[in-house]
Amino acid sequence: MDIIQEGDCAVCMLKYNHPAKLPCDHIFCFLCIKGVFLRSHTCPMCRTPIPEDYLDNPQLLKEILDEKTEIDECDKFWWYYEGQDGWWSYDERSNEDIESDFNDGKSECKLLVAGAVYCVDFTQMIQYRQSDPRRKRKVKRDTHTHPSKGIAGILKVCPKQDDLSAENINATILDDDIDTIQNIHENEDDIDNMSQILRSMSIQEPELSSGSSNTEDT
């Protein structure tokens, strides 16, 4: 099979966004793997079966954040969608698309997330699934420091201070569908910005052979 480019996710062909590693060692964005999993349960690269419980217990890799992005682009607003008792932050990429369409005065923004097309309707401030418009959620635009449950279904984890160095912190993953949300233990401690959320989820260095490809502009 054709390997697209080192350092890029083979599904979205962009630099990894919340990279997650499968047991076969192939790495993809978490949301890309989620989209794949909901359809085929096999690794897109080698077709090794993905464990049934993988989404509940993914192996998330440390994200390499572009400091500039944090300062320049995350300074004002972030988009959130409603979850059970709380708001989820959209992932960075979706947020950028929504914000851009919003600022362009469009009435809606379409997103391809985890293999499904979602529509964010700015007039009603709701998000719905294009294939099933009954599945709606409220959305809102707020400061990026607004408290949230996590990013796009990846629940933020706030380890205790002395656990911060622990090698294996598992982020808890929630199903994106509001109707199937189960009870989860959620730490309500405030994390005041996205980068802290990301750092708190970090588990280990990604096994990327070339660091430079990660700085490629999307």
Q: Return residues touching other proteins (CB under 8 A).
A: 1-2, 4, 10-14, 32, 35-36, 39-40, 42, 44-45, 47, 97, 100-101, 109-112, 115-117, 130, 218
CB of 216 to other proteins, least distance (A): 11
Q: How far is the CB of 91 from other proteins (least distance, A)?
A: 13
Report the 10 Å Cβ neighbour count for 118: 23
Find out whether 120 and 111 touch, Cβ atoms under 8 Å. yes
In this complex, which beta carbon is closest to other proteins, that of residue 116 or of residue 126?
A: 116
Integer Cα distance of 161 and 196 in angstroms: 13
| Backbone dihedral region for residue 64 (phi beyond 0: left; psi -120 to 50: alpha; all else: beta) | beta
Shortest spacing between CB 42 and other proteins, in angstroms:
8
Cβ-based nearer residue to other proteins, 26 or 149 = 26
Q: Is 217 helix (H, G, I), strand (E, B) or coil?
A: coil
Nearer to other proteins, 100 or 124 (CB): 100
Which of 76, 30, 68 lies closest to 50 in space, CA to CA?
30
In terms of CB distance, is 54 or 155 closer to other proteins?
54
- Helical ranges in the chain per DSSP H: 30-37, 67-68, 92-103, 194-201
Cβ-based nearer residue to other proteins, 157 or 206:
206
Q: Is the Cβ–Cβ distance between 45 and 27 less than 8 Å? A: no
Shortest Å, Cβ 186 to other proteins: 29
Least CB distance from residue 106 to other proteins, whole Å?
8
For the bound state, the minimum distance from the C-beta of residue 97 to other proteins, rounded and expressed in Å, comes to 6
For other proteins, the closer of residues 26 and 156 by Cβ is: 26
CA 121 to CA 206: how far, in whole Å? 36
CA distance 187 to 93: 25
